[in-house]
Structure formats: structure tokens, C-alpha cells
Structure 1
Amino acid sequence: MDAARYAALFQAEAREHLAELDAALLALEASVRDGADAVVTSAHVATLFRGMHTIKGMAGSMGYTAVEKVSHALESRCEPLRSGDEPLHADLLALIFEGTDVLRTAIDDAARGVETPSATIGSLLVRLRRPVSTGAAPVGGTPSVVSADSATRVGMADSAPDVANVRHVDVRLVSDCPLKGVRAMLVLAKLGPLGQVRATHPEQSRWQEDGFDGVFRVTLVSDAAEDTLVQAAMAAGDVSRVQVRLPALTSQVARQAADAASVPEATRTVRIDARRLDTLLDLVGELVITRDRLLRAIEAEDHPDRDVQRAARDAARLVSAMQDEVLQARLLPVGQVFDRFPRLVRDVSRELGKDVSFVMEGREIELDRSLLDAIGDPILHLLRNALDHGIEEPAVREAAGKAPRGELILRAARDRAAVIIQVQDDGRGIHRETVLHRALEQGLVPPDTAVLTDELLLQVIAHPGFSTARRVTNLSGRGVGVDVVNTRVRALGGQLEIESIEGLGTVVTLRLPVTLAITRALLVEVRGSTFALPATHVEEAMEYHESLRVHHAGGPAVTIRDEVVPLVALGERFGLVRSSTLENVNASAPGSGVDQHLAIVEAGGRRVALLVDALVAQQDIVVKPLDVVRGASPWFSGATVLGDGSPALIIDVPSVV
């Protein structure tokens, strides 16, 4: 077997199991601290044991010796916990936490084709074999899960099982399933918690042979319902058929019924290279542009052929449907990124000597894959900042009348056509006077600034190199955290917001588009040029009348339903006219019917009325990256190609308002 061909698949599945291990370890650590129910604790121990066992089987089939050694040692070290022969305590958990870190390194090394140094795993293996002495009382009982290997070895030595509880589970994998031996081990791992595995046919050792066709039987003693066994086997993925049979049927009718029982084809999922999805989306984007050009050409004809019109409309409908399906295929739950952070928060808080409760909300919210890949680092910076600068030490919190344990929340939510990600803490908040003093020293704000609003506060702390830390640590102090976050979020077409109350905490909000590739936009015309306003920022559009103008100390403004809204003339802002557009508007007499329009937009909690010459259309646009020269105005976030083939710049609304 060509192991390199399946290295990426092995790494992806192993990382999923590592995430489950981290979640189980964190839950077990909390159970030691809080005294959780024994049944709940036993379930987490079972998850821990099962995950290590599965990784061991996968590594063995791939020939990754280092991964197999570490996972086997961890599995063996967890066996006394599973059997109830050893108490669950903090020192043992700390050792297993360290072991999973080494296992993660070994998995990444194996996937890259690099041999993990023996020194990296040697001392760990020695310590895993030693007992960890403690006076702690055992927590939890013995879960009803048995290792598949041990069950196969010792099953026949046990007392004879009740024949009524013996089940043959016949499994057939999909024909194009990669790594059939590894997938069969996953099926076995899913069935293990439901009973005691007695045997497999063919034997597990033959599952790793190249001739294994993905058809096998698992015999187990279980009182679980047939549907439960079927669903467990199907949950392993790439399974096309599962049948549950009794070992001995005395009735010919019963035998025929069992033979006829079958499970419909499972919903199949396919792992594909993400670059293929990117290419597919680019092609769909070009189809969208071609669709718009075709429809525009037909509309321009005086007497278009009806058959051509009908075919064009059908093609446009199919392209729209394809566009929706491709965009949906690229959406992934943010939990795939969020799940890596509980372990990070645990490790950092322990390093800082802080007690932190970490809560994740909205893990099911979906985001485009390209955005999902890009938001990991910004969230990482924000969490570290919250832990280092925000949440106080337990003694400091108690002195301030707070609970000794701080709370850190990572939240995702939908807001119209955008996704909001928030990092919220109940720590000390930002001391604005300190920030203002440092900002005045560095000349980042006007000398007469007396108060930092949330908007100005963000502008200051996001300045490259700005920091109020008295010393540089491995977590912070270099003044790059918020700057990195702001730069990355703006590059993704989103915006960063911050709210902070001294003594109560801070909320940092990332507002992101659902997808970067195709978005809804309002096309506007300004002095003969067409621009695109992302629909996520547009609240409404209306005709402009001189009667809407008001005199305001802050500059030009209009009244919209008795609310004063700042007015920005895009022609003047972009330098498309020599004379001031606003002066031209002032020169127009009330009621003269100036042919202009307003687009009311919102960004960062600020509403602004954009003055444009015409509203062209509202349509989906394909976003293209825009390379600008150094020092250019940051007014545009990208470009697009319109239906007539002409280009249009996409306005970065937060920069304009």
C-alpha cells in the first residue's frame, strides 16, 4: 500500500480523534475538580480509551510506528482508569495531556514522512509505564466498553454468553472507500461500546492486507436493538450496507426474513482536495458573469427569438442553482475551528495561574471554508489577549468582589448576510486612561483628545506596535495582537469592533461575510463609473432631495425619518470631480429635482448616507482580489466584472464612512 497517498486522509481523521481526546480530557479534569457523577465520568473515560485505540489501529495499518507506540502506551495507561483499578486524579490527567501532545506531534511528523525522534517519545513512554501515586479517591466506575483486541483474545475464555444476545453484524464498505482496513477498525470502534466483541471474520490482521475487500463480520454479545447496532456501524462512514443476524435460527421463515433484511444505501460523503472546490467556485463565478452577459444581450434585442429566450432563462436558472449548491458545499461549521481552543485556554490559563471557565456558543454556525481557514489565527490572538490582559488572577478577582473563576466566551451567530464571532471576557476591561496616555505620547491621537470612544480605542490599540504591557512575554507585549486581527479581518472583507467597560470586561466582535467569492451587491453610478456596495452594509436606498439637507456641526448631513445622518459624496471622496459635489448640491434650489440618490449604509455601528448619481441594480457579483500599490487609499476591497464585461470596484464601506 502506498502510505504517502493516504497520509493526508490519515492526518485529517487522526486530528478529529485528537479533538475528541482533548474534549474528554477537559471534561475529566472538570469532573475531578467539581466531583461529577461517576456515570458521566466513566463515559468520558470510555471516549478517551476508544479514541486512542482507534488511532493505534489506523497507525498500525499505515505503518506509522511512532504513532502506534505512543497511542498504545496511552491506551495501556488508561486501562486501569477504565477498569476502575486506579483513581482518577490531576497528576495522571496531566501526564495524559502531555501524552496527547506528543501523539499530535508524532501524527503530524508521520503525515509529513518524517520520523519522530526517539528522544521525543522515549521519556514519555517510560513515565506512562510508571504508576502515579496519589491519595485521591477513585472517580467513576467501569464503563460498558471493551477493547476490540482484548475482547477477541479473551472472549472465548469467558462464560458462555446467552445465545439470545449474540449478534452477527455483517458490514460492507463502499467500493471506492480508501484505507478499507482503517475504516473497518472505525466500524469496530463504534460497535465496541454497545457490547462485548467476541470475534471478527476475517480476522483483524487480514484487514490490513491489500486484498481486503471491505466485507467483514463482527460477532458480539449485546442487548442493544438492531437499529442501534446498524446506526453505530453506519456512523463510521463509507459504509454501504449493514445487516444484523442471529447466529442460529431454527425457523426457516425467520432465516428468510433475516436474509431479506437490509439497510438502504447510506448517504455518502467524499473527502476531496479543497483546491478542487476553489477551482469549481471560480468556474461557477465565470458562469455567473456569462449568464448576466447572455441575459443582457437578449434584452437588448428588439425582437428576440422566444426559444432562445426560454433556453437562456433555463440556463440562468441552472447556473443559479449550481452556484447555490457550490456555495453550500463550501460551508463548514465553525466548530471545526472552535474545537481546537478549549485545550489552548486550559494550557494558557494554567501557565498564567488563572482559573477560567471557557464557553463556546454557536458551533453549528456555517462559514465558507476559505474564511474558516483564515479566522483561526485572529481568534487565537483574541483569546490570548483576553487571558493575559483581561481576566485577573483569582485573588485579584475576589478582592474586586468577583467570583474567583473568570469566564471567557467564544460565540458565533448569524446577523443577516454576515457571521458574527465574539470573544467576551468578564475581566478587568481596558483602562482607557492608560491607553490614552500612551497614545498621546506616541502621537496616535490629536493632542486635545480627552476621551477615547470605542471607535477611537480600537483605532489606537490596532496601531502596529502599540502596547501598554510593561514586559514582553511569550503571550503578549509586542503590540502585534490586535493589529494582526484587524489586518486579517479587513482583508477578509469584514470589520472589527470592540466594547470595553473597565472592571466588567471586554467584548471583541468580528463581523464577517458568509463567503468571499460571490456576494450580493448594490451597483451604483458615480460620475460615469460603476461601483459595488456590499449588500451586507446597505440598509436602504432612496432619492435625494435638497429638503433632506440639514446644517450640522459635524459636517454635511441629511435627515432620514427625523434622524440626522452624516452625508458623504462619493464623487468628491474618490476625487472624480474637481469641484465639490456638495457645493453643487448646495447651489441647487430646493425642489429643483437633482437627479441623485442616497444609499444608507452601516458599518461599525455608524450610519452614513452615500450620495451617488444613480442606482443601477442589485445583483450577485463575483469578487476578485484587488492588488493596489503601496500607499493607495483603502477605499476598495476588491473588484468584479459586470454583465457587459466592464470592471467595477467594490467599495470597502468601513473605510469610506
Structure 2
Amino acid sequence: MDTREPMLEMFIFETFDMIEQLQQLIIDSEKNKRLETEAINEIFRIMHTIKGSSGMMMFDNISNLSHTIEDLFYFIRESKPGKIDYSKLTDLVLEGSDLIKIETEKINNNKDTDGDFTLFIEKVKGFLKLLKTYDENSEDSGNGGSDELVSEEDVEQKYYLSTDRVNSNLNLFSATLFFDEECDMENIRCFTVVHQLKEISEVSYYYPEDIIENNDTCEIIKKQGFKIFFKTNQSIEDIRTLLMENAFLNNVDINKFYSEIEFSEQFSKKNEKPQEDIIKSINNIVNDTNDNEKVASKSLSYKQSLISVDVNKLDKLMDLVGELVISEAMVTKNPEISELQLDSFNKAARQHRKRLSDLQDVVMSIRMVSLAPTLTKMNRIVRDMCKKLNKEVELEIIGQETEVDKNIIEHIGDPLMHIVRNSMDHGIETKEERLANGKPSIGKITIEAKNTGGEVWIIIKDNGKGLNKDKILKKAKDNGLLKVKENDLTDREIYSMIFLPGFSTKENVTEFSGRGVGMDVVTKEIEKIRGIVTVDSIPGEETTTSIKIPLTLAIIDGMTIKVGKSVFTIPVTSIRQSFIIKKEDIIRDIDNNEMILIRGECYSILKIHEFYNIKTNVVNIEDGIVIMVEDQGKAKCIFADELIGEQQVVIKALPEYIKKVKAISGCSLLGDATISLILDISEIVNL
């Protein structure tokens, strides 16, 4: 089992990754109403790879299903049929990819792969037969099609001959495989190739031999390539094509032997290689010779520029960096040395702080992943719902290269899915409704991701019929969800009611909505990562849902303030300015609440000591400090006793007993061992 585990992990990871690529390729082809040669080759390669790797791992049902789709695209590639039902083809490929994904998830959860794909395989074969019929008719009428059709039997014979079909007229080959420099786990990939070749040939010998038992063989393969000797009735062109379908394979050198004696002598010499020569070979790879030490070292460094790392190790590394930040603060903010004149110490501390900041930036960059895979999944949702709801919708994705922390991206997939589904079901009208209202027949959903400072915004906008404010209020009343007077609610607050648990304006329950579940997942998941969701709408025109999430969950730059004996931290990105005010700058509104007049604008004041009932001697506003904070265009002034200063803080989760305290998003341990509560500015500006 120990030798199987890394292979299994690689199989699961690569299969999930290839399924995502496959789905995007086929959806793009359906949109364009054509299959580009590159797309056909890539889909064929994906299915061929999944077929080979699943067969090697003994997941026969996945292998058979992949083989069937591979046959379909082999026919499309070779025969170039003139008529293809792209919608039907896309349905089949997506259904097949879903079945493979379900089985792979079972493998990932240590369950048996017991799916029966007989009906699906027959469906694909039926479609292939239909394609051939179209092609034959097209050829008979002289309207395109290939000059020579490849039959289903020919497709199977191309690459999938079993060893009992290999006759005495065999070609004798040796092949040396060289992988891409960013490839890793070369030994396992070579084992896949050996298994693949055994389907069509008699494999006589390969070197290195112990590719599964010995991970050091990766270095030999990187340096010398992987050599394999085999007998087959396939041509050299067929073998090259077959081998080059493997992922990360850079080049293949194939030699043909014309006598059994010459063939046997070659791999016999390899097989009889003295043990000391093998050891010497390995040592020469691991320890570069003195003559080319610099060149080899540089080459090895480049080859290792891309590696796979367990995400748990990255989490541990991030935790350690967080502890270093706290330790650094404990040293530099130590009250026993803060009053001393230690110029050399202060200089060293500044240098240490800079290096620690560099380390933090590097670790953070390692954890950053692109939003592209998450956003492109929405294409599938829009495509499927268009067919089921009989709507025409275009999806535009902007800024998919935006990156966020790995832990954050795990929480935004489901919220995005629910928002897009809601736009498709409730927002975008049918073609007839849009034309009747003077709109283009094709609706549009735009998903935009952008990085602004220490935050990431994901904005989902549709040009549908907008939200009905009166209908939302009525439904909220009927369900007992309206807790305040209608007149006290802003439009945004009314629209945000669609995220309440059990809320739905749909009269009838459908496959996509009406049960009052789903949209509440949006706020729950986004709140877990300290994000916020807002909704704006123009009735009859559009609805815009904005998600604001932090760039990272781990460390922030914060401004620490003191109120009485309590300490709070404000994220620096939320601070507009801080100042001391005079009594004459204070005005009062009609409710006698204190406000500050700054540059002709009035800002309300949140007195922290009053809001949290904290005892302090600083109660007059002119005796303390005022910090103006801003979020989403809204601003508010916070009154505190004093500013302690700016420092990096490591965000920790709140203890259960204070999780319900308003406007607190987390806590942090400061350098002097004081616990600081982190203020949630997005909530404060809306108080």
C-alpha cells in the first residue's frame, strides 16, 4: 500500500484537474459551434491519459468509459465529419466527465468504484454510429467528409491490441523518454507508460528497473531519460503518437532493431550493468562533478522550480510565520527595554522586522491561487440552466487571474454558484419577455474579480429584471422575518433579505429554487472568511451582487488603539485619517447625537467606551483621539483614548463566548502579551 499511495494521490489530483479542463474545452467548442484541431487533440489526450492511468490503477469502469469517449474523438479527429450536433456532443462529454468525477470522488473517500456505465457507453456508441452515418451520406453526396472512414474496429486496433494479437512479425524497438523540466514523480509516470505499452506489446526490459520501489530513480530519469525495450506489430509512427499523448512528456527517441540478436544484446547489456556502475551513476547525478558543478547546479535548480507541496505543510509554515510575528513584537515592544537607548539593538530590530516582512510576503505568495478554476466552473452552470430554462445567456468573466489565499478560495465556490443560479432563475428573463421589454434577446451575466489593496472584490452582475422590493418586503412579513419598521430600512438592506434562511420569493418549487435554501449559504460561507455580501438592484434593468473578501486570513497590518484597559485593532486598509478635534468642531443632529464636521461633511461618531460599556477616564471627545474609518464608500469616526501604534497582528478566531459581540471579527496576541480585539469596520460603518 505504501507504494500505491503516491500513485493514487497523483491519479486523483490529475483526474480532477483534467476533468475541469475537459469541461471547459467542450463548452467553449459548443459556444463556437466548431471543434478546433487543438481542442480535439487535447480532449483526446485527456481521455487517453485518464483511460491509461485508471486502467493501471484497476479502476476498470473509469477506464472503459474513458476509452469510449476517446474512440469518439479519435473518429472526429481522423474522419473530420462534416456534420456534428455540438449540443448533443457536449451533453455526452459533460455527462461522461461527471460520471468520472463521481467515481474519482469515491476513490478519494476510500469507497468502491461501483458505478455502472453500460447505458452511457451505449449512448456514446449510438452517437458515434450516427456521426458515421452523417459522414457516409456527406461523402456519397460529395459534400465533404474524409476520403476514408475509420471503422469502430479500426479505432480499437489503432492503439488497443492485446498481447495475444501480437504475431511473430514483430517490430523490435527501444524508446527513451524525456520529461518536461517542471514534471515531478517521473518514476510513477514511467510506470504508467510501461503499463500502457503492455497493452499493445511485449515489454522485454526497462531501465531504471525499480521505478516504484526507489524514489531516487527520479534523478536518473531526469538526467538520462527512461529507456524501455519492447516488441510490437505497431509502426514507429503509431508508437511515437501513442507515447506523446502522455502528460509532461517532452520528447521520445525511438530506435528500431532489425534482428533479435541485436535487440537482445542491447537490453542484456543494460540488465547486466554492474551494481557499482549503477551506484556510481546515481552518485554522479546527485553529486555533480567538479568540472561542471556550477552549470549542473543551475540546471538542477531550474528543474526543481515547480514542485507539488502538501497544503498542510503550507498551513504549518504560515502558522510558524505568524508565531514569529508575535515573537518579534514581544521582543521589540518589551516594556523592560523600550525606555533604554539601545541604538544597535534598534537597528538590528528594524533589519529583523524587514526580513520577517519579506518572509511573510514569500509565504503568502506561495499560498496564493488563481480564481480562474473557480470562476470558469460557472460556465457549466450557465450552460446547463440555459438548456433547462429555455433561456439564452452570455457569461462574461473578467479578472480571472486575480489571486487569493488557498483557504479563502475553498469558501467562495458554493456562494458563487448560488448567486449565478439565482441570477439565471430569478433575474434573467426568457427570450420572449426580454424582446417584449425592448431588451436584447440574449441575457448577460458578468463576473468580475479585482484586487483593491488588501481586499478582493467579486462582483456578479446580470441585466435581468432586477429585484422587486415590495415583493421581498411582503414575503419577509409573511415569514416573520421583518424585525424593524419598513421605513427604517435602506434599499440595500431590503435586497439583502434574500440571504435570510428560509426566504424565497418563488411561488412554485422548482429544480433550482423555491425551497428557501441556498442563498443563506452565501452569507454563511462568506462570513466564515470575514467577508461581506451586498446587493444593489435597478428594477427592470439589473442586479449587482458584490462580495468583498480579505486577501488573506492570517496576518494584517493593524492600528492598535486603547480604550480604558481594553485594546482594539483597526485594519490599516480601513483607516482614512486620525486627528484630535476641538469642542467647536462638534455638532449635533436632530436626535442630539454628536457628529463631526470635516471639510463641509458631517460624520457620526462611535464612542467605543459607550458601545462596549468600558470604564475609562477619557469621556470628553476633545481629550481623546478620533479615527475616521471607511468601507464601501461609507465613513464613520471612532473615538478612543489613545493610539498605541501600527503593527502586524496575527488574526485568531474568537472564543465561542464572545462570538456574538457586535463589530468584532477576531482577536490577536500583541507583543506585550495583551489580547487585542479586531474591529469589524464593515459592520461599524453600518451601525
Q: Into which bin does the TM-score normalised by the smaller protein fall?
A: 0.7 to 0.9
Letter of the 2:604 counterpart: P
Change in CA separation of 1:438 and 1:204 when aligned onto 2, cut-off 3 Å: farther
* Whole-Å separation in 2 of the counterparts to 1:183 and 1:532: 54
> In 1, Cα distance between the equivalents of 2:547 and 2:633?
13
| 2:512 alignment partner in structure 1 | 475
Q: 2:601 aligns with which of 546, 549, 563?
A: 563
Residue 280 of structure 2 corresponds to none
Letter of the 1:128 partner, please give it: V
Query: 2:609 & 2:447 partners in 1: Cα distance?
Result: 41
Does residue 182 (structure 1) correspond to residue 182 (structure 2)? The answer is no
Q: Is the 8 A contact 2:467 2:495 kept in 1?
A: no
Cα distance per residue 1:249-290 (max 9 Å; x no partner): xxxxxxxxxxx9999342432222222211211111111000
SS of structure 1 residue aligned to 2:411: helix
Q: Of 625, 633, 640, which residue of structure 2 is paired with 1:612?
A: 640
**Alignment match, 1:171:** 178
Mapped partners of 1:355, 1:45: distance in 2: 26
Which residue of the partner structure matches residue 251 of structure 1?
Answer: none
Q: Residue 48 of structure 1: which of 38, 43, 46 is its match?
A: 43
* Alpha carbons of structure 1 residues 350 and 140: separation in structure 2 relative to 1, 3 Å: farther
8 Å contact from structure 2 (residues 44, 74) kept in 1: yes
Contact 2:427-2:464 within 8 A present in 1 as well: yes
Matched, 1:408 2:434: no
8 Å Cα contact 1:572-1:580 kept in structure 2: no
Change in 2 beyond 3 A, CA 1:83/1:172: closer
Q: 1:309 to 1:114 in 2, by over 3 A?
A: same
TM-aligned CA deviation for residue 132 of structure 1: 5.1
Out of 49, 57, 63, the position equivalent to 1:62 is 57
| Displacement of 1:478 | 2.8
State the partner residue of 2:24: 23
Displacement of 1:115 after TM fit? 2.7
Partners of 1:61 and 1:207 in 2: CA distance: 17
Q: What letter matches 1:611 in structure 2?
A: F
Q: Which residue of 2 aligns with 1:368?
A: 405
Contact 1:541 1:600 survives alignment (8 Å)? yes
CA–CA distance in 2 between the matches of 1:361 and 1:485?
21
How has the CA–CA distance of structure 1 residues 92 and 494 changed in structure 2, closer, same or farther, with 3 Å as cutoff? closer
Distance 2:589 2:340 in 1: 53
Q: Secondary structure at the match of 2:656?
A: coil
Cα gap change, 1:151 to 1:127, in 2 (>3 Å): closer
Q: Counterpart of 2:95?
A: 98
The yes-or-no answer on 1:438 pairing with 2:475 is: yes
The residue that corresponds to 2:288 in the other structure is none
Match of 1:126 in 2: 122
- Aligned pairs for 1:321-360 within 5 A: 321-360=358-397
**Cα separation, 2, equivalents of 1:16 and 1:275:** 20
Change (3 A) 1:19 1:433: same
1:163 matched to which residue of 2?
none
Compute the displacement of 1:334 (Å). Answer: 0.9
**Pair 1:489 & 2:486 matched:** no
Distance of 1:360 and 1:635 partners within structure 2: 33
Correspondence for 1:285 = 322
**1:73 alignment partner, SS class:** helix
Aligned to 1:115: 112
CA contact under 8 A between 1:440 and 1:447: conserved in structure 2? no
The Cα RMSD (Å) is: 4.3
2:581 aligned with 1:574, yes or no? no
The match for 2:418 among 381, 385, 390 is: 381
Label 1:448 to 1:516 Cα distance change in 2 as closer, same or farther (>3 A): closer
Partner residue of 2:299? 264
**For residue 67 of structure 2, what is the amino acid of its counterpart?**
H
Q: SS where residue 615 of structure 1 aligns?
A: strand
CA contact (8 A) 2:556 2:650 kept: yes
* Letter in structure 2 aligned against 1:110: I
d(CA) in 1 for partners of 2:459, 2:420: 10
Which secondary structure state, in structure 1, belongs to the residue aligned with residue 467 of structure 2? Answer: coil
Question: In 1, Cα distance between the equivalents of 2:193 and 2:572?
Answer: 45
SS at match of 2:512: coil
Contact 1:14/1:107, CA 8 A, preserved across alignment: yes
More moved, 385-394 vs 91-100: 91-100
Instruction: List per-residue Cα deviations over 1:470-494 (Å, max 9, x = no partner).
Output: 1223322233333321232223112
Structure 1 residues 157-556: aligned runs within 5 Å = 171=178, 177-178=184-185, 180-182=187-189, 213=217, 214=221, 215-216=225-226, 264-265=299-300, 266-297=303-334, 300=337, 303=340, 308-309=345-346, 311-441=348-478, 442=480, 444=482, 446-447=484-485, 449=487, 453-553=490-590, 555-556=593-594
The one-letter amino acid of 1:88's match is I
Residue identity in the other structure for 1:373: E
Rounded to whole Å, the distance in 2 between the matches of 1:633 and 1:175 is 49
Q: Which residue of 1 aligns with 2:681?
A: 653
Distance 2:58 2:327 in 1: 50
CA distance in 1 between counterparts of 2:193 and 2:449 reads: 31
Report how far residue 540 of structure 1 moved: 1.9
Deviation, 1:446, is 3.9
Q: Sort the Cα spacing of 1:56 and 1:152 in 2 relative to 1 into closer, same or farther, 3 A.
A: closer
> Matches of 2:47 and 2:104 in 1, distance apart?
12
Q: Distance in 2 between matches of 1:236 and 1:10?
A: 12
1:5-24 alpha-carbon deviations (Å, 9 max, x no partner): 43233211111111111011
2:640 aligned with 1:602: no
Change in 2 beyond 3 A, CA 1:595/1:501: same
Shift of 1:246: 11
Preserved contact between residue 7 and residue 188 of structure 2 (Cα < 8 Å): no
Matched, 1:6 2:2: no
Determine the C-alpha separation between the residues in 2 that align with 1:426 and 1:408. 7
Distance change in 2, residues 1:305/1:472 (3 Å):
same
Quote the Cα distance in structure 1 between the aligned partners of 2:562 and 2:335: 23
1:344 and 1:187 map into 2 onto residues whose CA distance is 39
Q: Secondary structure at the match of 2:413?
A: helix
Q: For residues 566 and 29 of structure 1, do their structure 2 counterparts lie closer, same or farther at Cα, with a shift above 3 Å needed?
A: same
- 1:536 match: secondary structure: helix
1: CA distance, partners of 2:496 / 2:209:
63
Q: What 5-or-longer segments of structure 2 have no aligned partner?
A: 147-154, 162-173, 229-234, 257-291
Deviations 1:119-161 (A, max 9, x none): x31211222222453797889999xxxx9994798xxxxxxxx
Q: Structure 1, residues 468-527: CA drift from partner, whole Å, max 9, x if none?
A: 111223322233333321232223112112111111111101011100110111111122
Correspondence for 1:84: 79
* Structure 1 stretch displaced more, 129-138 or 358-367: 129-138
SS at match of 2:332: helix
Partner of 1:225: none
Larger mean CA deviation between 441-450 and 389-398 belongs to 441-450
Identity of aligned residues (%): 25
Report the number of matched residues. Answer: 598
The amino acid of 1:561's aligned partner reads R
Residue 47 of structure 1: how far off its partner (Å): 1.8
Q: Which amino acid aligns with 1:565?
A: Y
Cα deviation for residue 648 of structure 1 reads: 0.6
Any conservation in 1 of the 2:182–2:305 contact (CA below 8 Å)? no
Q: Is the 8 A contact 2:492 2:534 kept in 1?
A: yes
Partner SS state of residue 598, structure 1: strand
